Structure 1
Amino acid sequence: MARRERTRHLIELGGLVQKAGLVDLADDDRATLYGAMLDCAARVRGDDAGTVLALWKRRGKRAFDAEAEGSAVDE
């Protein structure tokens, strides 16, 4: 059961990468995507971690809300 839940969780995370447009922007290059994610993680570990996470959370919530309403969000 735990393995199935983990698999579902990983699939959902992959869906977010796709939904954010990163797959197309990186031309489906996994090294580029991984590098981008490492860069994001390093930024969060920096001095402005709380600010960065709060910004990302607001943007994500707006995007989810816009999607639920059927409109697009420009970032």
Structure 2
Amino acid sequence: MKRRERTRQLIELGGLVVKAELVELTGDDRAVILGLLVEAAARLRGEDREQALTLWRRRGVRAFSDPLDS
């Protein structure tokens, strides 16, 4: 069961990358996408962690609720 849950999680996370248009915007350059994620992780380790989380959460909620972006 654990393997199935992990597979589902990975598929959902990949879907978020697609929904954010990172695949399209980077030309499916996985090194660039990973670099973006590493940069975000570094920011979350920094002093402005809470500000970044608040900003990104608001943007994410808007992106999920945008009916034009399915």
- Name the residue aligned to 1:37: 37
AA aligned opposite 1:9: Q
- Name the residue aligned to 1:3: 3
Structure 1 segment 45-60 matched on structure 2, within 5 A? 45-60=45-60
Which structure would you say has the larger RCO, counting Cα contacts within 8 Å and 6 or more residues apart?
2
Give the structure-2-normalised TM-score.
Answer: 0.91
Q: Displacement of 1:44 after TM fit?
A: 1.2
In structure 1, the gaps of 5 or more residues are none
Q: Displacement of 1:41 after TM fit?
A: 0.6
- Count of aligned positions: 69
Q: Displacement of 1:71 after TM fit?
A: 3.0
In structure 2, the gaps of 5 or more residues are none
3-state SS, counterpart of residue 10 of structure 2: helix
Structure 1 segment 56-71 matched on structure 2, within 5 A? 56-66=56-66, 70-71=67-68
Give the structure-1-normalised TM-score.
Answer: 0.86
3-state SS, counterpart of residue 46 of structure 1: coil
2: CA distance, partners of 1:15 / 1:65: 15
- Deviation track 1:10-40 (CA, whole Å, cap 9, x = no partner) reads 0000000011000111110111111111011
3-state SS, counterpart of residue 3 of structure 1: helix
- Name the residue aligned to 2:27: 27
- Structure 1's consecutive aligned runs of 4 or more residues displaced over 3 angstroms after TM superposition are none
